[in-house]
Amino acid sequence: MKLITPGPYGMLEITIQLMGYNNLCYSLVDNPDLVKAVCDSIGERLLKHYQICLEYESVGAIFVNDDWGFKTQTMISPDDMKKYIAPWHKKFVAVAHNANRYAVMHSCGNLKNVMDVIVDDIGFDGKHSYEDTIMPVEEAYQKYGRQLAILGGIDLDFIVRSSPQQVYDRSLKMLELARDKGAYALGTGNSVPEYVPDENYFAMILAAVKNRL
């Protein structure tokens, strides 16, 4: 058993918090040097964070959390993501791989225009956060399951609104889909807030326990 350590927010998230979203968008055109300076300053600190985490043998993977998008697209253009954000993520993954550990990405949003960057350029080992309104986890697994581990994905809205039996059935089908074809870990599409019905959450867990046995 190993720990998976998250970051204290992510590259893009902290950039938006520091600059403000509107200011960031204007600055990408009017003052790109400022954007780069802010991103580099954040990136250096996050890189140090992951390096410290990886000094401990109990850490098996780093969890690079950074919400890149929303329902229809990334927060900034794919070109700007590649220029300012992705290079630092590549460094985070590199320090994990150099330490013989895994690097997993968490990002909400529609990332279809940057998935090639996540998989081929940055080289993440796995990705978390999937939504039915963007791409159901079943579809994501069929499309990307050979390239990286698909983590979670049982849509949060589905878990909240469905019956325990429906949650159990979908969870079991997802596990059967993933059997012998690639890497998958059963879990929710995002976090597990307090309004998730206990019986629905445990129905998902039960599918994993029975499938293991």
3-state secondary structure of 185: strand
Residues 21 and 55 occupy one common structural domain: yes
pLDDT band at 164 (very low <50, low <70, confident <90, very high): very high
DSSP-derived pairing of the beta strands 3-6 and 149-151? unpaired
pLDDT digits (tens, 9 = 90+) for 25-74: 999 999 999 999 999 999 999 999 999 999 999 999 999 999 999 999 99
From 86, 112, 129, the end of a domain falls on 129
First to last CA, the chain: 19
| Widest Cα–Cα separation across the chain | 59
pLDDT band at 213 (very low <50, low <70, confident <90, very high): low
Query: How many domains are contained in the chain?
Result: 2
Residues 138 and 118 occupy one common structural domain: no
CA–CA distance from 22 to each of 9, 52, 61, 119 (Å)?
Answer: 19, 33, 34, 29
Confidence check: pLDDT of 180 > 90: no
Contact 8, 53 (CB under 8 A): no
Q: What is the pTM of this model?
A: 0.92
The rounded percent of the chain whose pLDDT value lies above 70 is 99
From 109, 129, 149, the end of a domain falls on 129
Domain containing 155: what range? 132-213
